[in-house]
Structure 1
Amino acid sequence: MEMRDVDLNLLLAFEAMLDHCHVTRAGEAIGLSQPAMSAALSRLRTLLGDPLFVKVGTRMQPTARAQALAGPVRRVTATIRAEILPSDGFDAATSERVFTLITPDIGEMIFVPPLMAHLSRQAPRVRLNVVSRPRLAAAEALSGGTADLALGYFPDLDGAGFFRQQLFENRHICLLRQGHPAVRDGRLTLDDFLACQHVVVHPDGREHVFEQHLQQLGVQRQVVLELSHFMSLMPIVDSSDLVATVPRDLAELCQRYAAVQIVEAPVSSPVIPVCQFWHRYAHRDAAHVWLRAQVQSILARPSCPEAAR
């Protein structure tokens, strides 16, 4: 097979099938009738020598070959849209674009509410799809075009091809129930901190930054409970003497909804840069530029550097 044998419109058809897993809906998404979309799918199958999508129930599920091609095809179409085709601008007031954001559950609590409030006013038809991904999977999703932005702490997204813009810096503090016996005059000493029992959150595929910091310092806590989600902390800390050491913005959110108090950690806390990350394939896309500007205006705090590669 030669390059001249490839009709780029077939890549759009393939991408639409990945998005919708339904022949009719995929055709509608790219302006093709059902027969035309079926013909395009038939040409793809012949060209690539694979069924690509097989009917399972009411959906057309991608085969292993189609899944392997998903990333490369999305990179090609994203590059054409962002770097070859002229931009017609982006009308936020009328756009029905769906943006996919990668952020852990802490990001869903901190970032999504103000973003949605802003979008409801400025871009009422725009939709957000918020997902959680381990760090390596986040890089693949951004480079493959299945996600637009990653929001949070992603130190691995610092290689060639990725851009980042710092939104703010975060530090860890201690979260305890109101009236906790270890807190005296609003302070928690190191001895009391070490004497307390602790709860630690280990999100899937992401390490606990403060725990790594303690290990480097040779400080050992009594961890009696490990969780996968930050959202579980509020009722647990509220109803026990367990201590949670968490990013400050999360602690401040918990304080709004539970009878908990915030106390400075008696151990030095590493600075956590919270950023938005994107891949170079989307760097010039007008809609993507608009989205990044909204994130920066809503979520950034003072002294945030410009985007850097």
Structure 2
Amino acid sequence: MDIRKVDLNLLVVFDAMARLRSVNRAAEAVGLSQPATSAALARLRLLFGDALFVRTGAGMKPTPRALELAGPVHQVVETISTEILQQAAFDPALAHRRFTILTPDIGEIAFFPRVLQRLRQEAPNVRLQALSLPRKAAAEALETGAAELAVGFFPDLQKAGYFQQGLFKTSYACIACARNTTVRERMTLRQFLAARHVVVRPEGREHTFDRLLEEKGHHRRVMLELSHFMSLLSILPGSELIATVPDDIATAVERHIKIRRIALPLRPPPIEVQQFWHRRLQHDPANKWLRGLFHEVNRREANEGLPA
């Protein structure tokens, strides 16, 4: 028998007949009319080459062949109903798994602390892995399953096949060591460009502030380029360098070292922070829970800064 020619709906009718021994009751159980159920029974008899259920004074009685089939068919119907067609569930309290989140090091600072607090309470055996990739590699990582979620500024993911959800909007701040006397708290554009800059450019990523300067034809005096924002904690103290960084980084840095903020001489572009996931995970219960947690914990109102 070629399984490709078998209508699995017939097995549902067979299972109902085997349990209820009545065409009318089987029809009611599977949601078919009595004539449609009788027609399905006729097709089953043809398929198996057996009468299967014979009408007697005591009702429809199964043949020996039907009795042999009853157990396996019921198991198949139950498996399809409960394991294949039933929406999978995800219980974070019982889950033992790891989720990989694409985010730059600014994301590790801004997003993970409050998420970890919730995990300790709600999902003690769920682990997170932060992964920093060039923006153009993020799409492939989400598509292949190497990562479940991307959180941050990912303009390359704003395309078909990927869902996105806004968390908050922020901007840039210029910071310097509190003892840096070479720069004023307010500078002209000329003074700003002539100052000694340290620039943080994570591998394969650029900032919209860099793009703004490039579009306007402005060139800073860059003395040092770094790959990680937290290196500023050891670079800025005692130096004459200034750094223009996302506002969350400025807030995180000033929690550890004494800095002062310098007014930018041009209006910085906004940074729209979002989370992204691939369409194949849109209905996945685990991913729904994960992105729901990130959104609930990390979304902010307008002008709200990095939480303590």
What TM bracket, shorter-length normalisation? 0.5 to 0.7
Written as runs of structure 1 = structure 2, the 5 A alignment for 1:152-171 is: 152-171=152-171
Equivalent residue number for residue 256 of structure 1? 255
Written as runs of structure 1 = structure 2, the 5 A alignment for 1:1-309 is: 85-184=85-184, 186-302=185-301
Cα offset, 1:180, TM superposition? 2.3
Distance 1:303 1:248 in 2: 13
Cα offset, 1:303, TM superposition? 5.9
Instruction: Work out the percentage of aligned pairs sharing the same amino acid.
Output: 47
**1:104-152 CA-partner distances (Å, limit 9, x unpaired):** 1111122112211221111111111111111222100101111100011
CA contact (8 A) 1:252 1:262 kept: no
Which consecutive residues of structure 2, in runs of 5 or more, have no partner in the other structure? 5-83, 304-308
Cα offset, 1:193, TM superposition? 1.6
Distance 1:195 1:144 in 2: 45
Distance 1:157 1:135 in 2: 8
Distance 1:238 1:85 in 2: 60
- The residue identity in structure 2 corresponding to 1:236 is I
Seen in structure 2, the aligned counterparts of structure 1 residues 290 and 242 have a Cα distance that, compared at 3 Å, is same
Seen in structure 2, the aligned counterparts of structure 1 residues 190 and 150 have a Cα distance that, compared at 3 Å, is same
Cα offset, 1:97, TM superposition? 2.4
Larger Cα-atom Rg: 2
Equivalent residue number for residue 21 of structure 2? none
Distance 2:194 2:281 in 1: 50
- The residue identity in structure 1 corresponding to 2:116 is M
Distance 1:141 1:85 in 2: 28
Cα offset, 1:182, TM superposition? 4.5
CA contact (8 A) 2:179 2:238 kept: no
Distance 1:151 1:113 in 2: 14
**1:162-195 CA-partner distances (Å, limit 9, x unpaired):** 00111111211101110322454x4344343223
CA contact (8 A) 2:106 2:248 kept: no
- The residue identity in structure 2 corresponding to 1:224 is M
TM-score (norm 2): 0.68
Cα offset, 1:242, TM superposition? 0.4
Cα offset, 1:264, TM superposition? 2.8
**1:67-118 CA-partner distances (Å, limit 9, x unpaired):** xxxxxxxxxxxxxxxxx75323221111112111011111112211221122
Distance 1:101 1:249 in 2: 19
Give 3-state SS (helix, strand or coil) of 1:180's partner: coil
Distance 2:266 2:219 in 1: 11
Give 3-state SS (helix, strand or coil) of 1:147's partner: coil
CA contact (8 A) 1:103 1:130 kept: yes
